[in-house]
Structure 1
Amino acid sequence: MANGIKESPVGLNKNGMQTVLPTPVVSEGHTNHKSVLNSLMSGAFAGAVAKTAVAPLDRTKIIFQVSSNRFSAKEAYRLIYRTYLNEGFLSLWRGNSATMVRVIPYAAIQFCTHEQYKKLFGSIYGFQGSALTPIPRLLAGSLAGTTATVLTYPLDLVRARMAVTPKEMYSNIIHVFISMSKTEGLKALYRGFTPTVIGVIPYAGISFFTYETLKKLHAEQSGREQPYPFERLMFGACAGLFGQSASYPLDVVRRRMQTAGVTGHTYGTILGTMQEVVAEEGFIRGLYKGLSMNWVKGPVAVGISFTTFDLTQILLKKLQSVSEIQR
């Protein structure tokens, strides 16, 4: 009913006759609102925890991606150590404030929309309450990543700029926005947008697909509906490994295009950027530069992210259940 009250014949009046007593019901809209809110909160927290954990490695990877210096584990270690000596320990997290400004809404939107896309495809294909088949599972992940990217892209560009520039150049996030708008125009805030969207389709699709598939297979083989936390970390690590490996060259291209204004290059198109990178550095060394570091950073970050999201979701649902019982 519109007033949220449902009639139920469960009471007895003083003459011993049954009478109708009102009992509260939770509307479907109210339940869905709580579900969306839970997904947003869990996703935001998951993204913040994961990205902060790997921020020094992420910054180091970006610096190599946008330069012509040859990448190796030894050189990456030297860069981290030199940065620590010259700029201090906290400088390893330079740009992380911009990362948080971007990743909190990005992760919140991505995880939340993924849950909603799963429900949408479930209703279309008749899988309500059960795992989606492979194709809808892949589409749900790809659409979630695309939606989050479209809504938060300028924040990703700002974060890349702060990661590759000295702290004297940009004092804060607002300074980056103002400086870029004045010197390069507002269009610069979406430089590298196309390769980012193209790259996020396989990345998000494969990541979510792999994680959801591994959870489904685990439930079927073990008989346990919920994996242990360390199992979730392993599933997330596999998801990150596959997803990032599939889309890595486009990640290099978008970083080059994002930072063109401060590196002296004039990258204009995806193919043009790829050709220039390959001509200067070679196919593998150029387009896959830093991938070995991503094989360390990526699985850790994605594993932490998926695990944190799931566990936070479970915790919030338990807290809501306790709260409703106490009422």
Structure 2
Amino acid sequence: MPDGSSAAESVDAASSVQPILRPSWSSVAKSLVAGGIAGGLSRTAVAPLERMKILMQVQGNNKLYHSTWSGLVHIAKSEGLRGLMKGNGANCLRIIPNSAVKFFTYEHLSREVLHHRRSLQDGEGEMTPFLRLLAGAGAGIIAMSATYPLDMVRGRLTIQHGASAQYKGIWHAANMIVKQEGPGALYKGWLPSVIGVVPYVGLNFAVYETLKVWTMDHYGLRDEQELSVAARLTCGAVAG
């Protein structure tokens, strides 16, 4: 039977584990909006390169595009600005909710993981790179699964050419795919995509968050808000 002092120590240890703070609706909204805007802007900035990449991947032996630059010039001359941005609407429609869900889910999973770790270690412990990787991987899987049909439709729209275009837009493409190939067609390629997301998104979050911590320690910063935009961009660029 434990004595009074050991019982008191047990109570103190248990009370040292602070209950997880549930985010307010305003903080949830801010997280979702910030993640969505960041995702939309970043994808729009590289939309021409994204389309060029896909076109070069699917072209046959009769190569029309021999280099990225010549391909972009050819598209600009033959299809105009709209040609360079083709598929970006569908891409943004996918990436905005994807980024919103991904960042919000990462924050939520991180809080849960940290709370669980501290509950096992008498209130001690911080997030490690490995735990950040796990939280990031989980967030990536959830976000990818929630928005995968849009990614599949975006791919179909991107490889269309001029008069031979089969789909008139995002919703028309989705409707045609379901009618002709069944609902399951919207998730074609889901498994390999998720397998790729696990290390990519997991490492992305793990490296980014770890670099931020190292930067703060190096400059003696106490709050993440003290990090400059340049420092955040550098951490993000290295992580990406």
RMSD: 2.3
Q: TM-score under structure 1 normalisation? A: 0.60
The alpha-carbon deviation at position 110 of structure 1 amounts to 0.2
> Given the superposition, is the C-alpha separation of residues 130 and 107 from structure 1 closer, same or farther in structure 2, using an over 3 Å criterion?
farther
- Aligned letter for 1:190? Y
Asked if 1:143 corresponds to 2:138, the answer is yes
- Alpha carbons 2:118, 2:124 under 8 Å: kept: no
Q: Indicate the SS of the match to 1:170.
A: coil
- Cα separation, 2, equivalents of 1:117 and 1:67: 41
Per the alignment, residue 41 of structure 2 pairs with 49
Asked if 1:107 corresponds to 2:102, the answer is no
Within the candidate set 60, 78, 89, 2:81 is matched to 89
Per the alignment, residue 229 of structure 1 pairs with 229
Deviations 1:53-104 (A, max 9, x none): 1111111112223335699x96111111111111111210100110111111
- Aligned letter for 1:136? L
Q: How does 1:201-240 map to 2 (within 5 A)?
A: 201-224=198-221, 225=223, 226-240=226-240
Uncovered stretches (5+) of structure 1, i.e. residues with no partner? 1-27, 241-327
Asked if 1:181 corresponds to 2:173, the answer is no
Per the alignment, residue 65 of structure 1 pairs with 57
Deviations 1:99-145 (A, max 9, x none): 11111110100000000011011101129898511221110110011
- Aligned letter for 1:238? V
Deviations 1:130-161 (A, max 9, x none): 85112211101100110101111100001111
Per the alignment, residue 157 of structure 2 pairs with 162
- Cα separation, 2, equivalents of 1:69 and 1:111: 41
Deviations 1:18-57 (A, max 9, x none): xxxxxxxxxx65x532222211111111111111111111
- Cα separation, 2, equivalents of 1:48 and 1:151: 17
> Given the superposition, is the C-alpha separation of residues 38 and 68 from structure 1 closer, same or farther in structure 2, using an over 3 Å criterion?
same
Within the candidate set 194, 199, 205, 2:196 is matched to 199
Q: Indicate the SS of the match to 1:94.
A: coil
- Alpha carbons 1:138, 1:209 under 8 Å: kept: yes
- Aligned letter for 1:195? P
- Alpha carbons 1:110, 1:145 under 8 Å: kept: yes
> Given the superposition, is the C-alpha separation of residues 129 and 203 from structure 1 closer, same or farther in structure 2, using an over 3 Å criterion?
farther
- Aligned letter for 1:228? S
- Cα separation, 2, equivalents of 1:129 and 1:238: 30
- Alpha carbons 1:114, 1:140 under 8 Å: kept: yes
- Alpha carbons 1:134, 1:209 under 8 Å: kept: yes
Identity %: 38
- Alpha carbons 1:131, 1:216 under 8 Å: kept: no
Per the alignment, residue 251 of structure 1 pairs with none
- Cα separation, 1, equivalents of 2:160 and 2:81: 17
- Cα separation, 1, equivalents of 2:215 and 2:199: 23
- Aligned letter for 1:161? R
The alpha-carbon deviation at position 173 of structure 1 amounts to 0.4
Structure with bigger strand share is: 1
- Cα separation, 1, equivalents of 2:203 and 2:160: 32
Paired residues, number = 211
Q: TM-score under structure 2 normalisation? A: 0.81
Q: Which has the larger displacement, 199-208 or 167-176? A: 167-176
